Amino acid sequence: MKIFALLVLALLLVGQAGAISKTSLTELNLTQNMPAALKMGGYKVTGMGAGTAYGDATNLGQSWGKVNKTGDTMTGALVVLNGTAAGNPPRFSQLMAVTGKSVVYGQGSDFYGIASNGSLVYSGANLSQAVNTVAATLPTGRKVRADLRLLATGTLTGKLMVPNYTTLDATGSTLTVGVNVSDGWNCFTGILQNSRGFTGMHDLTKTTATNKDIEIKGGRWINAASNENMFALNSIDGLYWHDMIVEQATSARKGMVVIRSMNVIVERVNFTNMWIMNIADGAKYVDVRDCDFTNNYDSPISMGTGADLGTYQTRNITVSDCDLNGCTEGYGLDFYGDVKGFGAYRNRVSNMYGSGILITMDGASRAMPKQGKIIGNVANNNGLGTAGSGINVYGKSGNDAALVISQNTANYNNFSGISVGAASNMTITDNVCNANANEGIFIDAEGGITTGIIASGNQCHDYGGRQDYGIHLYGTVSYAFDDVVLTGNSVGGNVVAGISVAGTKPTTYIVENNVGFVTRNFGLVYLADGGTITHGLAGIPTCIMVMTGTAGQNAYCTGADATTATIAIKTYAGAGGTTQNCQWLAMYKP
Per-residue pLDDT tens digits for 286-340: 999 999 998 888 888 887 665 444 445 788 999 999 999 988 888 999 988 778 8
Give me the mean pLDDT over the 229-234 stretch.
70
pLDDT of residue 395: 80
- DSSP 8-state symbol, 552: T
Q: Which of 463, 409, 469, 473 minimizes the C-alpha distance to 438?
A: 469
CA distance 412 to 483: 29
pLDDT of residue 229: 61
pLDDT per position as a tens digit, 380-434: 999 998 889 999 998 876 677 889 999 999 999 999 999 998 888 899 999 999 9
CA distance 109 to 274: 27
Give me the mean pLDDT over the 495-520 stretch.
93
pLDDT per position as a tens digit, 518-558: 999 999 999 999 999 999 999 999 999 999 989 999 999 99
Confidence of residue 176 (pLDDT cuts 50, 70, 90): confident
pLDDT of residue 582: 94
- DSSP 8-state symbol, 97: G
Strands 481-487 and 348-350: unpaired
Q: 420, 429 in Cβ contact below 8 A?
A: no
Coil, strand or helix: which one is 353? coil
Strand order in the sheet with 564-571: 531-534, 564-571, 553-560
CA distance 368 to 402: 11
- Higher pLDDT residue, 2 or 97? 97
Q: 305, 337 in Cβ contact below 8 A?
A: yes
pLDDT of residue 200: 31
Strands 497-503 and 469-475: parallel
Give me the mean pLDDT over the 168-172 stretch.
92
Q: Which of 149, 232, 219 minimizes the C-alpha distance to 186?
A: 232
CA distance 500 to 444: 12
pLDDT of residue 238: 86
Residues 363, 318, 174, CA angle at the centre, nearest 5°? Answer: 100
pLDDT per position as a tens digit, 102-126: 999 888 889 999 888 878 899 999 9
CA distance 106 to 110: 6
Q: Which of 393, 390, 404 minimizes the C-alpha distance to 347?
A: 390
Global pTM value: 0.78
Q: 228, 191 in Cβ contact below 8 A?
A: no
Mean pLDDT of the chain: 78
